[in-house]
A and B are shown apart, each in its own frame.
Chain A
Amino acid sequence: MRYAVVVAVVAANLIGCGGGSDSSGKPTQSGSSGGTVVSNGVDLTAAGATFPYPIYAKWISEYAAKSGVKINYANLGSGAGIRQLIDQTIDFGATDAPMTEAEMAKAKGGQILHVPTVLGAVVIAYNLPGVTQPLNLTGSVIADIFLGKITKWNDPRITSLNPGVTLPSRDVLAVHRSDGSGTTYIFSDFLSEASPAWKSGPAQGKDLQWPVGLGGSGNPGVAGTVKQTPGSIGYVELAYARQNNLPAASIKNPAGVFVAPTVEAIAAAASNSVKALPANTDFRVSMVNAPGADAYPLASFTWLLVYKNQKDPVKGKKLVDFLHWATHDGQQFAPALDYAPLPPALVTRLDTLVAGIVVGAPK
Chain B
Amino acid sequence: MSEGVRDIVVPSIAPAAIDGEKRDWLEVGSGLADRVYIGAITASALVVPAILGLIFVAVAIAAWPALRTFGLAFVSTSVWNPVVGQFGAAPAIYGTIISSIIALVIATPLALGVAIFLVEFAPPWLRQPVAFTVDLLAAIPSVVYGLWGVFVLVPALSEHVMPFIADTLHLGNTPLFSGPAYGRSMLAAGLILSIMVLPYISAVTREVLLAVPRSQREAALALGATRWEMIRDAVVPYAKSGIIGGIMLGLGRALGETMAVTMLIGNRHEISASLFAPGYTMASLIANEFSEATGDLHLSALMAVGFVLLLVTFAVNALARWLVWQTSRASVAETGK
Interface residues of A (CB under 8 A from B): 1-6, 8-10, 12-17, 19-21, 23-25, 76-80, 82-83, 100, 103, 171, 173, 178-182, 202-210, 213-217, 221, 224-225, 228-229
Contact = CB atoms under 8 A, between A and B. Distances in A.
Contacts of B245: 1-2, 5-6
Chain B's interface: helix, strand, loop or mixed, by majority? helix
Contacts of A224: 150
25 contacts: A1-B208, A1-B245, A2-B328, A5-B242, A9-B316, A13-B310, A13-B317, A14-B52, A16-B255, A20-B306, A23-B287, A173-B180, A179-B287, A179-B289, A179-B292, A180-B291, A180-B292, A180-B293, A206-B82, A207-B293, A209-B82, A214-B184, A214-B267, A228-B155, A228-B158
B249 A20 contact: no
A51 to B, nearest CB: 11
Contacts of A76: 291
Nearest to B266: A214
B95 to A, nearest CB: 12
B270 to A, nearest CB: 10
B180 A228 contact: no
B285 to A, nearest CB: 9
Nearest to A202: B83
B246 A5 contact: yes
Contacts of B263: 217, 221
B283 A20 contact: yes
A2 B5 contact: yes
Contacts of A216: 267
Contacts of B184: 214, 225
A17 B310 contact: yes
A228 B263 CA distance: 13
Contacts of A207: 82-83, 289, 292-293, 298
Interface in B277-298: 278, 283-284, 286-294, 298
A25 B286 CA distance: 12
| Contact-residue bracket for chain B | 35 or more
A23 B291 contact: yes
A73 B278 CA distance: 35
B320 interface: yes
Contacts of A103: 294
B182 A13 contact: no
B120 to A, nearest CB: 19
A213 B8 CA distance: 54
Contacts of A9: 248-249, 252, 316-317, 320
Contacts of A100: 294
A214 B256 contact: no
B276 interface: no
Nearest to B313: A13
B294 A10 contact: no
A13 B256 contact: yes
Contacts of B266: 214-215
Contacts of A214: 182, 184, 266-268, 278
Contacts of B268: 210, 213-215
A284 B314 CA distance: 46
Given A2-B324, A215-B267, A16 B288 contact: no
A206 B324 contact: no
A182 B82 CA distance: 14
Contacts of B292: 77-80, 179-182, 206-207
Contacts of A221: 263
B81 interface: yes
Given A20-B258, A178-B288, 15 more contacts: A6-B245, A13-B256, A13-B310, A16-B313, A19-B259, A20-B283, A23-B287, A24-B286, A179-B287, A179-B289, A180-B288, A181-B292, A206-B82, A208-B82, A213-B268
Given A19-B258, A79-B293, A209-B83, A3 B278 contact: no
Interface string B292-310: 1110001000000010011
Contacts of A209: 79-83, 269
B127 interface: no
Contact of A1 (B155, B182, B211, B288): B211
A16 B82 contact: no
Contacts of A80: 291-292
A3 B208 CA distance: 13
A77 B287 CA distance: 12
Nearest to B292: A180
B127 to A, nearest CB: 21
B73 to A, nearest CB: 15
A2 B241 contact: yes
